[in-house]
Amino acid sequence: MKPSHSWTARIERAEQLQEEHEAAAELLGFYASLLRLQQSIYQDMISTGQAEIAHLAHYAPSLLHLVETSAPQAMAELAHGLHQTKWETVLATQWGAQRNNQTVTADFFVYALLQPYAEILSRDTPSVDGPRCPYCNSLPHLAVMRPEGDGARRFLYCGFCAAEWGFRRLKCVNCGEEDKERLPSFKSGKFEHIYLAGCENCHTTLKCIDLGVDGHAVPAVDDIASVSLSLWAHEEGYRPVSPNLFGF
């Protein structure tokens, strides 16, 4: 499926949730600013026809400036020493690793620059029913429950290129576990439309956004707002199937 929410919808949702969730307000405010930068990169690459890895390096100074001036302090400090980075090389290396399914995890800065590029190329993804993204081969970061008939269908959401594709509900996307007794779910009263699908076999969780409960939810943004649920899972010994932009 094509990416399900426009950049504008994501920005507006981040601004809305920033007002509603004090614990995640600082991160959501920064995320809204980052989405605006990513939107400008996305639109610029399309309008100029320069959707190429090499061109992405031109946006690195803008990203570093944004982080230094708007991000939480710990993240801002990381940006100070990155101005001499050979971005074209770093971005090309990470993109190659991503496409070849190598176990290389991009840091925030590389991830943030590559996302708009990946989303351009994934606007028309094939229909599949497997655990990995049909475009970039990533494991999903989220699941999205969409109302269908009298129930709901689970779609997996790629945190890297924003593609969605259908997948069975009672099956771990990481290890394939199908025993429902080993597939617990965890929920917090703060987020009625969000729960964690856990797996006791591989000790992973996949955050699920239920649009049947809250049709206004925007998966990538509501994920950030519910960071407390992700941190709880970490404290309980679970890890995400695939971390998001901020590493949780």
pTM over 0.85: yes
The pLDDT value recorded for residue 106 is 59
- C-alpha–C-alpha distance, residues 230 and 195, integer Å: 10
| Sign of torsion over alpha carbons 216, 131, 133, 59 | positive
The DSSP line for 138-184 is PPPSEEEEEEETTEEEEEEE-TTT--EEE--SSS-TTT----GGG--
Angstrom CA distances, 239 to 147, 149, 247, stand at 28, 33, 11
Q: Which residue has the tokens 């996949």?
A: 206
pLDDT value, residue 51: 80
CB 238 within 8 A of CB 28: no
Maximum CA extent, the chain: 55
Q: Per residue of the chain (248 residues), give pLDDT as tens.
A: 555 579 999 999 999 999 999 999 999 999 999 999 999 999 999 998 888 888 999 999 999 999 999 998 888 998 988 999 999 999 998 888 776 666 555 589 999 999 999 998 876 655 567 898 888 888 999 999 999 888 899 999 999 889 999 999 899 999 999 999 999 999 988 999 999 999 999 999 999 999 999 999 999 999 999 999 999 999 999 999 999 999 99
> Strands (DSSP E) along the chain, which ranges?
142-148, 151-157, 164-166, 185-187, 194-199, 204-210, 239-240
Q: How far apart are the first and last CA of the chain?
A: 24
Phi first, then psi, for residue 59 (nearest 5°) are -90, -5
pLDDT of residue 148: 87
